[in-house]
Structure 1
Amino acid sequence: MATKLNFVSCVAWVRQGVAKEIPDRIQLTQEEIRSKIESDRQKFKELKSSNQNEHMETDESSSQVDRNDEDRQIIDRYNLDDYDDDDNDDDFFVPDDTAADTYLNREQNYSDDEEEKDDFRIKPTDNLLLAGHVEEDSVSLEIKVYNKEDGVYVHHEIYLAAYPLCFQWLNFEMENEKRNLVAVGDMNNDINIWNLDVVDILDPVAVLSGHKKSVLDLSWSEKASNILASVSADKKCLLWDLKQQTVVQTFDQFKSRVQSVSFHPLETNILLTGDAKGHAKLLNYQSLSIKDWKVCQNEVEKVAWNPQEPYMFLCATSEGWLYGFDCRNDNSPLFGIKAHDEMISGMEFSSANNGCLMTTSADQNVKIWSVSSKEVKSIQTIQPNVGIILSMSANPDHSNIFAISGDNVGENIKILNLDTYPAVKRQFNLC
């Protein structure tokens, strides 16, 4: 019997003050819950079977290697072939006695205990932290509440039918009301949009269908709030009109899977992408112009704009290199540095500290950098002990707070406070 998995594949923050203080709550019967879980279980089994069949076809026919390799590397990254690989044919837990489960028993109301009521209430000073959690026989989106004074706890969760690969928070208007939403890209082809202000929700509020393979990254800009960008293993970048829930622009000039996408912080018609052939592309979805940089011979895993120097972008690679470029010219990189021993899995700037960049890697290390167009300087190396680091997100309200996740069964998610590292405090004059 293979070892069960327990990892968090992706994390994302929700800023303070947007969540409902008292979330809505759907009243469900036990039969509705069981039916939904069984439906997701079946979808999950079909997806897993399809991926296994593609792997077998790849072994039998070399002509299919390129086609199947796109999804194959995702499966290998998370060791999904070994997931639940035992005699039990059920991939999702379906409860036999929902009355014995306090979460599934919808007849049970919250008690009058003041502490429990306070935990359910989301305060204006709280952030939400979203975590894509795979644990033994369940896949879920955990909605956690974080407060610097009180720590973090799980508020509620949403059951998912496939491994989540990326999150993008959306504060988008639906039905004449701004909603607190998250778009989830996963190993299925669709993008599911969930309402974070509803507890016990069973279905997404919208499904965006257009990609043919796994959705690997998402980007949204509040300056163009009706537009969502997505990239996929199908070698495409799609732009979605969220109001109409349709594709309004397709970029298909890629030779391999597109792994990262980011809206420019000021120019809302500009997108930056990174692909598995080592290219970074600047896409203008108004003029339809494309600018291309050959970054490396391996894969570009992550791209990011420097918010303090918005003409500057960074690329992180599958071999652990970090490159900086000036988008105004086609010259060689501003810098290139071997930042990690293995693939860089996360790269984000602090929300406020000038030039403060955090990178995470499959080498299980976190590094803090001081970055400008003139230099990149290593400030701190951290070993957070969350295993292979799979995802990272910078808190939008607390510039010193980052969340990271990994595949350590004992501790797969951790919040890092840069205030606790003297070298970082000195470099960025942290309070």
Structure 2
Amino acid sequence: MIAAVSWVPKGASKAVPDEAQLPPKEEIEKMIKSGALEEESENGHSEEEDEDTDIEDVEHTNEVTQALVVADALGKTSKSKNSGTKLDDIAEGLKELDMDNYDDEDEEVELFSKGLGDLYYPSNQMDPYLKDKDDVDSEDLEDMVINANDSVIVCACNEDDVSHLEVYVFEESNDGDTNLYVHHHIIIPAFPLCMAWLDCPLKGGEKGNFMAVGSMDPSIEIWDLDVIEEVQPCLILGGINEEKNMKRKKNKKGKKSSTEYKEGSHTDSVLGLAWNKEFRNILASASADKTVKIWDVVEGKCSFTLGHHTDKVQAVAWNHYAPQVLLSGSFDRSVFMKDARISTHSGFKWSVAADVESLAWDPHTEHSFVVSLEDGTVKGFDIRTAKSDQASESQPCFTLHAHDKAVCSISYNPLVTNLLATGSIDKMVKLWDLSNNQPSCVGSRNPKAGGIFSVSFSEDSPFLLAIGGSKGNLEVWDTSSVAEVSKRFGKYSKPNKADI
């Protein structure tokens, strides 16, 4: 399934991504000395330890596996006191094989007579088995290049219990043909639930190309999209404190103990993320632990925690014109707005009739936002009608009965005024004209993607809509092909490729 989709702005990706480097030698040695490898080599854990927390076991297994692979690549051997560990057995086996002298052969022994197999070809072009190899390598290199005109789409996926980010390239030719293919993928340790692209320069320079991922774990992982075959995120915000929990397990073996989290961390799944484009080091997160957190990704720590909801917080969004204003929606059937410019005010709150699934600010005005609900409706609000008290009962500008089931995702078109897309688990994607707060449906489609979990309009191509759902297939819909969309919004033509 595809839980979330996100566009990467054109030109933000490196033309040719870097290849991942092995972790520093010191980090590997630290992992080995920590005793993680010794624990992995034991026969098992007590039932009490197994029941303690599934999240700890998954993270621990991933860490050990990575350590084993990297240690083997560097020729390291375990310093375990237990001479009977698996690592010792592997080391002894390699010693017996004498791999260092594997290529040394007895020149006097000739098993087979001379024949065509001994022919020497002066060049690869003359060798029938190698003559096309250079062409294949050239094609592979060409496929790895991301051109400035290419669109990049990232999908948060889960398939056969493997969670990963798939980085797609969407090519558009001058004659109208398109090509969509997977450029590379990144394995992640936990089931992904949400994403947010950010260009905060975490590795120096003026900008970057990073994807923040929220998952079933309480941590937020930030991955560098310009690095392929990466095995570790470049930054982790919050999460379980592995060192403290490992010590607690060793000291209280057989006894259940509460989970230790890093300072400022969420304590449950991360359900929503929003990057602040104006204050580029700021990331907001919504969690099942009922809180909203504001993170400084440069400092790698939580700056503020907001606890104004009484149930799981599903979505967060920064205002496009007033970057100090944050909106959040919750399963407590409310939408909350916090304006950091008014430090003395506790915030504004709107009540809705069902659990909040998604919300979004109108990118063409600072006063309006829409929220989608579990009952299939979409409501629009104008913050100028909000009352001064926190428990505002302001009526919505409109209520739209959009779908038969939960509306999991909504997306304003950032380039076309009043065009909104909605996606639902009823398997339908619909397009709406919100002009004059009188919504009308201008297009609908069943993209054969299963239940729709995520829809997202491109910020570079006016009518391209990315769609992800339960069947795990990424769909890109050119909504300008819909007659009514073309009729009403035709003035927002596609940009001339020569101008890009």
| TM-score normalised by structure 2 residue count | 0.68
**Pairing of 1:98-247 with structure 2 (within 5 A):** 112-113=135-136, 114-149=138-173, 150-177=178-205, 178-209=207-238, 210-247=265-302
Q: Matched residue of 2:3: which SS?
A: strand
1:412 corresponding residue in structure 2: 473
Mapped pair 1:307 → 2:307: no
How many angstroms does 1:50 deviate by? 11
1:282 corresponding residue in structure 2: 337
1:394 corresponding residue in structure 2: 457
* 1:113-151: CA deviation from partner (whole Å, max 9, x where unpaired): 333221101111112111112111421111111122342
Mapped pair 1:365 → 2:421: no
Match of 2:4 among 6, 10, 22: 10
Q: Matched residue of 1:224: which SS?
A: coil
Letter of the 2:423 partner, please give it: T
Higher strand share: 1
Instruction: Sort the Cα spacing of 1:53 and 1:119 in 2 relative to 1 into closer, same or farther, 3 A.
Output: same
Larger radius of gyration: 2
The answer to whether the 8 A contact 2:216-2:270 is kept is yes
Match of 2:14 among 9, 14, 20: 20
Match of 1:343 among 396, 406, 410: 406
In structure 1, distance between residues paired with 2:404 and 2:201 = 43
The answer to whether the 8 A contact 2:361-2:369 is kept is yes
Letter of the 1:329 partner, please give it: T
How many angstroms does 1:112 deviate by? 4.9
In structure 2, distance between residues paired with 1:322 and 1:395 = 21
Gaps of 5+ in 2: 55-60, 70-132, 239-264, 387-393, 494-500
Instruction: Sort the Cα spacing of 1:27 and 1:212 in 2 relative to 1 into closer, same or farther, 3 A.
Output: closer
In structure 2, distance between residues paired with 1:287 and 1:226 = 21
Mapped pair 1:291 → 2:347: yes
Gaps of 5+ in 1: 1-6, 56-89, 99-109
* 1:328-356: CA deviation from partner (whole Å, max 9, x where unpaired): 12231111121111100110111211110
In structure 2, distance between residues paired with 1:52 and 1:342 = 36
Letter of the 1:130 partner, please give it: V
2:438 corresponding residue in structure 1: 375
Query: Number of residues paired by the alignment?
Result: 361
Instruction: Sort the Cα spacing of 1:248 and 1:355 in 2 relative to 1 into closer, same or farther, 3 A.
Output: same
The answer to whether the 8 A contact 1:282-1:290 is kept is no
Pairwise CA RMSD: 2.9
In structure 2, distance between residues paired with 1:50 and 1:206 = 28
In structure 2, distance between residues paired with 1:313 and 1:344 = 15
Identity %: 29
Q: Matched residue of 2:278: which SS?
A: helix
Instruction: Sort the Cα spacing of 1:336 and 1:344 in 2 relative to 1 into closer, same or farther, 3 A.
Output: same
Q: Matched residue of 2:201: which SS?
A: strand
In structure 1, distance between residues paired with 2:51 and 2:339 = 38
Instruction: Sort the Cα spacing of 1:371 and 1:54 in 2 relative to 1 into closer, same or farther, 3 A.
Output: farther
Q: Matched residue of 2:430: which SS?
A: strand
In structure 2, distance between residues paired with 1:188 and 1:359 = 27
| TM-score normalised by structure 1 residue count | 0.78
